[in-house]
């Protein structure tokens, strides 16, 4: 992920709506991408991953889309729930090293 400065982007959505969180990465050699969810006061929690030989992967209520041409990753959350409120961030890396690059995150707020 890329740093976007000191201010954490915030996305506010109505409960029940779909959420789309975006992430840009800079390393063309990255071939493994992960989305993490971090709730207040807790460690990052793995949500879903995708490898560079895929452009879409689905989990339970979540979908990750990968566009390698523009080095862009997105996380879609269907039927967003209050429990989805957290900071979400992406990480990208390659199989040759351990140096994952983490984005600064997007704060998702779910409105009742």
Partner 1 sequence: DAGITQSPRYKITETGRQVTLMCHQTWSHSYMFWYRQDLGHGLRLIYYSAAADITDKGEVPDGYVVSRSKTENFPLTLESATRSQTSVYFCASSGTSGGTQYFGPGTRLLVL
Return the residue of 11, 104, 107, 109 that touches partner 1, per CB under 8 A.
Answer: 104
Q: Does 94 bind partner 1 (CB under 8 A)?
A: yes
Within the chain, what is the greatest distance between any pair of CA atoms? 44
- Dihedral Cα 77, 82, 84, 85, nearest 10 deg: 120
Backbone angles phi, psi at 39, to 5 degrees: -85, 160
Beta-bridged to residue 105, according to DSSP, are: none
84, 85, 88, 89: which one binds partner 1 (CB under 8 A): 89
Contact string (CB under 8 A) for partner 1, positions 7-26, x = contact: xx------------------
How is residue 97 annotated by DSSP? Answer: -
Residue ranges that bind partner 1, judged by CB under 8 A: 1, 3, 5-8, 32, 34, 36, 41-46, 49, 89, 91, 93-100, 102-105
């Amino acid at each position: 992920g890329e740093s976007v400065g000191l201010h954490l982007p915030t996305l506010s959505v109505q409960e029940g709506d779909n959420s789309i969180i975006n992430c840009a990465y800079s390393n063309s050699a990255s071939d493994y991408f992960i989305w993490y969810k971090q709730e207040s006061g807790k460690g990052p929690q793995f949500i879903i991953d995708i490898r560079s030989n895929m452009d879409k992967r689905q989990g339970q209520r979540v979908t990750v889309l990968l566009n390698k041409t523009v080095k862009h990753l997105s996380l879609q959350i269907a039927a967003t729930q209050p429990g989805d409120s957290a900071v979400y961030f992406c990480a990208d890396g390659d199989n040759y090293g351990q140096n994952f690059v983490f984005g600064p995150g997007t704060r998702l707020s779910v409105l009742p």
